[in-house]
């Protein structure tokens, strides 16, 4: 790309320039042309300056023929706009360019429809600017052909667009819009800027020919935005990619008072979305948008598809993602404080292996005063062999230090969702997923499934936070908490899924897996569980409080239930409506508060239904399991306490149909267990 | 002492630049730096003016103490629309003066101005054309009779490169009658260039100029005309001077299809060109010396 831009700048040593301007009533419009073309190229054009019914210039032109073409057409109006069109073709077998423009003192509409074939290098560029803001479109390719219809519309706002089809080496199209004010004074710095862009490119390493078919637009007025309809971007062997992003920055800095009077107040936010494919027979498509505005910065992609194929033993990958984040910093050393914060959210899907395919109805991310959010809908990923994954996450980080009180705090929280499959015949699907930060960090996913014909599949969600208190230069206290749910399976027809997965970190943490399921026909096995944990460095004992419920099986079978973990009232983990079957199945409920613990462990071969698992770790501990076992089973309950020092253990076993009720707990009086089985 | 005051035909500021329409057409050759530029300005407007003056140019007392202003008469007229111009300058000392004049100016600047360019395949020859259709009609008649210490009276009519005019200087007795009729229909320009240089540039204002004068003079009488081609070079040129007492009748008519744009350097370089820096509104500062220093020939 840099090479093409340099060529654009360096051309024009032998050329004809033409100027045409008109004025009336203190207003003016102007158009100028620069032509450096081979003799083999035919050029014709006409311009008409109108004075009745408002000042205007209408222009049309045609350029055709083989050879070198370097043409620039510029426009300006007395209201302050400027526009430019560039056409560059080096040693083309043919160029056909049809252009038209309508200029008034306050508005510009320009269209360039350019077709270049067989050129060593070719590019078409359109730019527009007004009041310090600008927008542009760029299309280029080497050793190939290019068809691009580009427009510039300026009327208060600026909009540029291109509808482009390119084939050749490194076909590239992009559009940008925005502004940047950079003011540097004696000891001061002030930056205001925002921008948006969209781009698509492709590269082929075999025959060098790859293709792009897209419709891009970028504009700026009170905000900046970019839009891209990537109808297709392909390469036989290599890589294709498309992305859209937007960002905003606002910075004030004053260094005039030296380090002791340093003042910095800055804020930045950005959002992006992208699609990519790397490998053989790569193809991507989708609609991408990104924008800034008073409401924040966002990026989204819809109808996203990415795929690639195998060739010999070559492998490839496809991915799509959207993410957004912001960053703020404040430094006022004169008043003695430093503070800063950052938050981010993202969602993505990918596949690596053979015959990868991903689709996403929507991938979006945004950030602003409301917080930061990412969203995905109708996400699917599959391949014949390799791995596929979908994930969403959100997190935030805040910190501050007061030099006057010599105290500071650093806080962080995050939430994450993931689903993946690896092996052969992999597939994941997510109906909807959303990750946000704001007052809390949370992630919610619905209709999640991950499966592998022969391999592993898993899904889960987790959330956590940590807070570090600083006094002087040392850490005074650390507190942390987290909750997670998850399911996974390894073997033939491995499956993991959930109707709903949720993880949230706010004043406390919570993780939910409704309809959480793990199954496998045959193989290593499957597992499922929920865990909640807290940590406080000031707490007696280890400082940890951990509660978990889980199940796993070896061989074939299934485990499902509604799993939940939270740290609202210390650490709690529960599972309701638990169903499990298999030849070698294990269910566990465990609680540990750092000084005492309670555990229930059940092993069975058969079916476990209507089950309930629960664990709690706080001022006391408790572990519980209830349910109906059909088959052979053995269940142990054990409680252990250090203050007072105590221990209790019971177990039950049987072969038939039983309702079991197993419980272990500890409190400030000791350790206790209860074991019941009733024949049904 | 009887004080006579003469009021003279005065035309000024006929075209306001703020309301005017204009355009600029230019071709630059980047290779050798050759260039061709043309700037045109006009307006859609109408001017009709007629008047007559008759009186004695005499000293007048302006204060009770008897301060007396020297008697003089001065006036000028500048009319211009799309390079159709009429300039008049008159300065007279004590005497008897009478004059009548009629001016009619019509100008249109509403039609589109068109530019075309073409370079055929297989050639490096660029043909760039300009087409303007901003017509102007300017008709003016003037009669003058003077007897006194001296009068300078000059005029010049210019039409997109063509010009014709007369100067009567140091006349103690002058009578003249002049009719001017100028018309500009349209302007066409053609620039032929290659990637190496501008080969030629032709400007073709379609125009006609009629200048008819009958005079009786007792000083210097200068008569001039110039007709130019499409590149601004004079193709017909004449200049005559008559010192003494003459009766002159002259009629000049120039009609050209291919003419060049007016050269901004006016051949009437004395009062018309040389006194451009004198504010015409500052009539009080125009004393005898200034007037006749200006009329330098």
Question: What is the longest distance spanned by two Cα atoms in chain B?
Answer: 87
A6 at interface of B, judged by CB pairs closer than 8 A? no
Taking the CA atoms of chain B, what radius of gyration do you get in angstroms? 22
Residue A489: closest CA among A453, A515, A463, A514: A453
Testing the interface with B: which of A51, A57, A61, A71 to mutate, by most B Cβ within 10 A?
A: A51
3-class secondary-structure state, position A4: helix
CA-CA-CA-CA dihedral for A92, A98, A104, A109, to nearest 10: -90
The label of the residue with tokens 């370089």 reads B269
Q: Which residues of B touch A23 (CB under 8 A)?
A: 20-23
Average pLDDT, chain A: 93
The label of the residue with tokens 């030629």 reads B200
Centroid of chain to Cα A6: 34
Q: Whole-angstrom Cα distance, residue B90 to residue B157?
A: 15
The predicted pLDDT at position B19 comes to 59
CA distances from A333 to A265, A330, A341, A410 (A): 12, 10, 17, 19
Report the residue from B26, B116, B124 with minimal CB separation from A19. Answer: B26
How many angstroms away from the CA of B47 is the closest CA of chain A? 20
Report the residue from A23, A40, A44 with minimal CB separation from B118. Answer: A44
Share of chain B above pLDDT 70, in %: 80
How large is the average pLDDT for residues A361-381?
93
Which secondary-structure segment (H or E) carries A2? helix A2-10
Centroid of chain to Cα A107: 38
A50 at interface of B, judged by CB pairs closer than 8 A? yes
Instruction: Give the count of Cβ contacts less than 8 A between chain A and B.
Output: 113
The predicted pLDDT at position A359 comes to 95
Average pLDDT, chain B: 83
Q: Whole-angstrom Cα distance, residue B293 to residue B297?
A: 9
Share of chain B above pLDDT 90, in %: 70
The DSSP line for B37-74 is EEEEEE--EEEEEEEEEEEEE--EE-STT--EEPP-EE
How large is the average pLDDT for residues A470-475?
85
The predicted pLDDT at position A177 comes to 97
DSSP strands (E only) in A316-440? 316-332, 337-354, 356-368, 371-402, 407-437
Question: What is the longest distance spanned by two Cα atoms in chain A?
Answer: 102
A44 at interface of B, judged by CB pairs closer than 8 A? yes
> Exposure string (b/e) for A224-234, b if CB count within 10 Å is 16 or more?
bbbbbbbbbbb
How many angstroms away from the CA of A61 is the closest CA of chain B? 9
The predicted pLDDT at position A294 comes to 84
What are the sequence ranges of the domains in chain B? 17-294
**Residue A295, phi then psi, degrees to nearest 5:** -80, -5
Q: In chain A, which residue's Cα lies nearest the Cα of B119?
A: A43
The predicted pLDDT at position B221 comes to 96
Q: What does the pLDDT look like over B81-104, one tens digit per residue?
A: 999 999 999 999 999 999 999 999
> Are A393 and A415 contacting, i.e. CB atoms less than 8 angstroms apart?
yes
Q: Which residues of A touch B116 (CB under 8 A)?
A: 44-47
How many angstroms away from the CA of B223 is the closest CA of chain A? 38
The predicted pLDDT at position A439 comes to 82
Q: Which residues of B touch A51 (CB under 8 A)?
A: 21, 109-113
Q: What does the pLDDT look like over B167-220, one tens digit per residue?
A: 999 999 999 999 999 999 999 999 999 988 999 999 999 999 999 999 999 999
Q: Above 60 in pLDDT, residue A284?
A: yes
Q: Whole-angstrom Cα distance, residue A646 to residue A598?
A: 12
CA distances from A46 to A74, B52, B112, B127, B245 (A): 15, 50, 12, 12, 58
Share of chain A above pLDDT 70, in %: 97
How large is the average pLDDT for residues A545-560?
96
Structure-model confidence comparison of residues B157 and B270, the more confident one: B157
> Are B14 and B47 contacting, i.e. CB atoms less than 8 angstroms apart?
yes
Q: How confident is the model at residue B271 (pLDDT cuts 50, 70, 90)?
A: very low
Residues with Cβ within 8 Å of A107's Cβ and at least 6 positions away in sequence, in order, are A77, A79, A81, A153, A154, A155
Q: What is the value of ipTM here, to two decimals? A: 0.82
A205: left (phi over 0), alpha (psi -120 to 50) or beta: alpha
Q: How many residues are given for chain A?
A: 680
The label of the residue with tokens 């202003």 reads B69
Q: What does the pLDDT look like over A164-197, one tens digit per residue?
A: 999 999 999 999 999 989 899 988 999 999 999 9
The predicted pLDDT at position B258 comes to 54
How large is the average pLDDT for residues A327-355?
92
B52, burial (CB in 10 Å: exposed 0-12, middle 13-18, buried 19+):
exposed
Residue A629: closest CA among A651, A603, A668: A603
Q: Which residues of A touch B21 (CB under 8 A)?
A: 22-24, 51
The predicted pLDDT at position A310 comes to 67
Q: In chain B, which residue's Cα lies nearest the Cα of A20?
A: B25
Tokens of A527: 């597992």
Q: Above 60 in pLDDT, residue A611?
A: yes
How large is the average pLDDT for residues B227-247?
92
Q: Above 90 in pLDDT, residue A405?
A: no
The predicted pLDDT at position A637 comes to 97
CA atoms within 13 A on the CB side of A402: 5
Tokens of A136: 């542009």
Q: Which residues of A touch B113 (CB under 8 A)?
A: 22, 48-49, 51
Report the residue from B24, B126, B128 with minimal CB separation from A21. Answer: B24
How many angstroms away from the CA of B129 is the closest CA of chain A? 9
> Are A595 and A540 contacting, i.e. CB atoms less than 8 angstroms apart?
yes
The predicted pLDDT at position A208 comes to 85
Q: Whole-angstrom Cα distance, residue A93 to residue A117?
A: 6
Share of chain A above pLDDT 90, in %: 86
The label of the residue with tokens 């009080």 reads B284
Q: Above 90 in pLDDT, residue A409?
A: yes
The predicted pLDDT at position B292 comes to 43
Q: Whole-angstrom Cα distance, residue A140 to residue A73?
A: 18
Taking the CA atoms of chain A, what radius of gyration do you get in angstroms? 32
Centroid of chain to Cα B155: 7
Q: Above 50 in pLDDT, residue B284?
A: no
Residue A604: closest CA among A628, A584, A618: A584
Q: What does the pLDDT look like over A121-147, one tens digit per residue?
A: 999 999 999 999 999 999 999 999 999
The DSSP line for chain B is ----------B---S-GGG-EEEEEEEEETTT--EEEEEEEE--EEEEEEEEEEEEE--EE-STT--EEPP-EEEEEEEEETTEEEEEEEEE-SEEEEEEEEEEEEE---S-EEEEEEE-TT---EEEEEEE---EEEEEEEEEEEEEEEEEEEEEEEETTEEEEEEEEEEEEEEEEEEEEEEEEEEEEEEEE-SS-EEEEEEEEEEEEEEEEEEEESSEEEEEEEEE-TTS-EEEEEEEEEESSEEEEEEEEEEESS--PPPSS-S-IIIIIITTTS-TT-GGG--HHHHHHHS--
Q: Which residues of A touch B128 (CB under 8 A)?
A: 18
Q: Above 50 in pLDDT, residue B34?
A: yes
The label of the residue with tokens 């004030």 reads A252
A47 at interface of B, judged by CB pairs closer than 8 A? yes
How large is the average pLDDT for residues A339-357?
93
Q: Above 80 in pLDDT, residue B129?
A: yes
CB atoms A24 and B20 under 8 Å = yes
Q: What does the pLDDT look like over A226-249, one tens digit per residue?
A: 999 999 999 998 999 999 999 999
Q: How confident is the model at residue A3 (pLDDT cuts 50, 70, 90)?
A: very low
The predicted pLDDT at position A14 comes to 66
């Amino acid at each position: 790309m840099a090479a093409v831009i340099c060529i654009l700048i360096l051309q024009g040593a032998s050329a004809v320039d033409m100027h045409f301007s008109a004025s009336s009533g203190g207003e003016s419009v102007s158009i100028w042309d620069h032509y450096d073309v081979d003799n083999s190229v035919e050029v014709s054009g006409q311009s008409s300056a109108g004075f009745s019914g408002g000042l205007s210039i209408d222009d049309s032109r045609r350029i055709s023929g083989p050879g070198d073409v370097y043409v620039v057409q510029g426009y300006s109006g007395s209201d302050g706009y400027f526009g430019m069109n560039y056409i560059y073709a080096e040693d083309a077998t043919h160029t056909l360019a049809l252009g038209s423009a309508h200029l008034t003192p306050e508005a510009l509409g320009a269209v360039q429809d350019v077709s270049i074939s067989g050129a060593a290098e070719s590019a078409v560029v359109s730019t527009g600017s007004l009041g310090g803001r600008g927008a542009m479109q760029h299309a280029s390719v080497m050793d190939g052909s290019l068809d691009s219809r580009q427009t510039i519309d300026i009327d208060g706002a600026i909009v540029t667009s291109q509808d482009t089809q390119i084939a050749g080496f490194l076909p590239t199209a992009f559009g940008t819009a925005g502004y940047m004010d950079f003011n540097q004074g004696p000891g001061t710095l002030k930056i205001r800027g925002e921008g948006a862009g969209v781009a698509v490119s492709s590269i082929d390493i075999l025959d060098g020919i790859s293709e792009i078919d897209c419709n891009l637009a970028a504009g700026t007025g009170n905000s900046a935005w970019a839009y891209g309809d990537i109808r297709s971007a392909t390469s036989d062997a290599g890589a294709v990619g498309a992305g859209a992003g937007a960002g905003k920055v606002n910075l004030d800095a004053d260094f005039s008072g030296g380090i002791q009077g340093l003042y910095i107040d800055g804020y930045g936010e950005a959002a992006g979305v992208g699609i990519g494919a790397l490998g053989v027979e790569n193809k991507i498509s989708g609609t991408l948008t990104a924008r800034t505005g008073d409401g924040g910065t966002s990026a989204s992609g819809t109808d996203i598809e990415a795929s690639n194929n195998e060739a010999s033993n070559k492998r490839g990958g496809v991915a799509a993602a959207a993410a957004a984040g912001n960053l703020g910093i404040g430094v006022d050393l004169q008043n003695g404080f430093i503070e800063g914060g950052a938050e981010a959210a993202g969602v993505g899907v990918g596949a690596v292996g053979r015959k990868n395919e991903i689709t996403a109805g929507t991938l979006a991310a945004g950030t602003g005063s409301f917080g930061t959010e990412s969203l995905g809908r109708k996400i699917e990923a599959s391949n014949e062999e390799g791995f596929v994954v979908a994930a969403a996450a959100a997190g935030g980080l805040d910190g501050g230090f007061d030099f006057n009180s010599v105290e500071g705090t650093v806080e962080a929280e995050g939430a994450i969702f993931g689903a993946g499959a690896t092996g052969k015949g992999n597939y994941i699907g997510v109906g909807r997923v959303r990750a946000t930060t704001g007052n809390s960090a949370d992630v919610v996913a619905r209709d999640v499934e991950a499966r592998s014909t022969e391999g592993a599949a898993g899904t889960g969600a987790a959330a956590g936070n940590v807070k570090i208190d600083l006094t002087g230069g040392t850490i005074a206290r650390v507190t942390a908490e987290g909750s997670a749910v998850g399911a996974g399976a390894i073997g033939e027809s491995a499956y993991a899924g959930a109707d709903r997965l949720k993880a949230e970190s706010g004043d406390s943490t919570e993780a939910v897996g409704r309809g959480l399921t793990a199954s496998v026909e045959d193989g290593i096995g499957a597992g499922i569980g929920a865990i909640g944990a807290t940590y406080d460095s000031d707490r007696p004992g280890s400082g940890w409080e951990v509660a978990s419920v889980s199940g796993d099986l070896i061989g074939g079978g299934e485990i499902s239930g509604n799993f939940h973990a939270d740290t609202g009232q210390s650490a709690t983990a529960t599972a309701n409506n638990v169903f499990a079957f298999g030849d070698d199945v294990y269910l566990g409920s465990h609680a540990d508060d750092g000084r005492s613990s309670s555990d229930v462990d059940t092993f069975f071969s058969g079916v476990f239904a209507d089950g309930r698992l629960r664990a709690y770790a706080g001022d006391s501990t408790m572990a519980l399991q209830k349910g109906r076992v059909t088959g052979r089973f053995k269940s142990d309950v054990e409680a252990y306490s250090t203050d007072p020092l105590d221990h209790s253990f019971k177990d039950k076993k049987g072969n038939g149909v039983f309702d079991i009720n197993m419980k272990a707990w500890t409190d400030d009086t000791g350790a206790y267990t209860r074991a019941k089985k009733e024949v049904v | 002492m009887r004080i006579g005051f003469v009021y003279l035909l005065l035309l000024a500021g006929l075209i306001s630049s703020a309301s005017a329409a204009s355009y600029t057409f230019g071709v630059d050759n980047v290779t050798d730096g050759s260039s061709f530029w043309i700037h045109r300005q006009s307006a859609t407007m109408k001017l009709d003016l007629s008047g007559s003056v008759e009186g004695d140019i005499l000293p007048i007392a302006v204060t009770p103490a008897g301060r007396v202003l020297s008697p003089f008469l001065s006036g000028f007229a500048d009319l211009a629309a799309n390079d159709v111009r009429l300039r008049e300058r008159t300065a007279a000392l004590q005497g008897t003066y009478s004059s009548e004049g009629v001016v009619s100016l019509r100008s249109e600047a509403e039609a589109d101005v068109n530019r075309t360019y073409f370079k055929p395949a297989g050639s490096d020859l660029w043909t760039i054309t300009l087409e303007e259709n901003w017509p102007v009609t300017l008709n003016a008649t003037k009669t003058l009779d003077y007897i006194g210490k001296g009068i300078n009276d000059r005029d010049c009519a210019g039409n997109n490169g063509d010009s014709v005019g007369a100067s009567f200087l140091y006349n103690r007795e002058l009578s003249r009658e002049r009719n001017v009729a100028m018309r500009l229909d349209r302007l066409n320009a053609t620039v032929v260039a290659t990637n190496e240089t501008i080969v030629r540039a032709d400007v073709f204002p379609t125009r006609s100029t009629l200048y008819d004068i009958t005079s009786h003079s007792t000083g210097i009488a200068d008569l001039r005309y110039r007709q130019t081609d499409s590149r601004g070079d004079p193709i017909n040129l004449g200049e005559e001077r008559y010192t003494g007492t003459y009766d002159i009748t002259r009629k000049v008519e120039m009609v050209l299809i291919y003419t060049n744009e007016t050269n901004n350097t006016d051949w009437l370089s004395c009062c018309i060109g040389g006194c451009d820096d004198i504010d015409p509104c500052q009539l009080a500062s125009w004393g005898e010396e200034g007037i006749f220093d200006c009329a330098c020939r």
